[in-house]
Amino acid sequence: MIDEFDLASRDEPFDPFGVMLFKALQVIAFLFFITLLMVAPDAKSGKVDTKAEFLITISWPDNHPDDVDLFVQDPLGNIAFYRRREAGFLVLDRDDRGGANDFILVGDTKVNSPIRQEIVSIRGIVQGEYTVNVYHFTATSGKPVPVSVKVERLNPTVQVVHYDTIELNDSGEEKTAVRFTMDKEGQVTKVNREQKSLLRQLASFNGTVWTGMGMDKGDGK
C-alpha cells in the first residue's frame, strides 16, 4: 500500500561514470584556479609604470588656427619639443599644430579636434632648474594669442606649482613662461620668469639658426 502512494524512500541507481565525470571536473577547476594564482604575479611584475612626477600644460583658445609650441629644458640640458619628443625624463605627450592637420580618427572618419593643447610630462626627479618656453610657430589670425601655462606636481597629491597666461603676437616669437627649481625630493624651491632662449641653444647644438618659419616641421610634427 505504501508503494502505491510513493511515500517510501528509494535509493537512486548508482552511476559510476557520472561520479567519475563530476570528480574530473572538480580536479580541472582546481588546477585552473592554481594556474591563475601562479600566472598573476608574473603579469603584474611585467606591468609598465608610466607614472609622471610633474605635468606641464599649455593651452590656447579652442579652434584657434595658430600653431603654438611647448619647449621644456631640464637641469642636464635636455630639451623636449616637437622634434625631440623624449629627452631624459622629459616626454612630449601631446603635440598640437593648431588649425593644421589637427584631427582625430573615429573609425575611418577624420574629425577635427577643437582642443589646442600641448603637454610635457616629467617622469623622474632631477635636481636643478627647469625652463618652460612657448614658441609662436605660425601666426595666421593676425591677433595676439593668449596662452595659459600650468605646471603641476602630481605626487603624492596634485599641487599647482605655477599658473599664468602670457600673450604671443607674431610668428617666431619665443617667451619663457616659467623657470622653476626643484630639490632632490622633487620639492619646488624657486620660481621665476627670467627670459632664456631655448631656440638659440638648439641652434648652437645643430649649427643652424632656427627662426620663424625656417623651423620646418615637415611630416614629423
Joined grid coordinates for residue 98: 593648431
The pLDDT score that the predictor gives to residue 112 is 74
Joined grid coordinates for residue 24: 574530473
More confident residue, 220 or 90: 90
In 3-state terms, what secondary structure has residue 221?
coil
pLDDT of 28-62, one tens digit each?
A: 776 666 665 555 444 444 444 458 999 999 999 99
d(CA 138, CA 82): 14
Phi-psi region of 111 (alpha: psi -120 to 50; beta: other; left: phi over 0): beta
Q: Is the dihedral of CA 79, 80, 81, 82 positive or negative?
A: positive
pTM of the shown model: 0.70
pLDDT of 133-167, one tens digit each?
A: 999 998 988 899 999 999 999 999 999 999 999 99
Residue 21 in this model has a pLDDT that exceeds 70: no
Per-residue DSSP letter, 84 = B
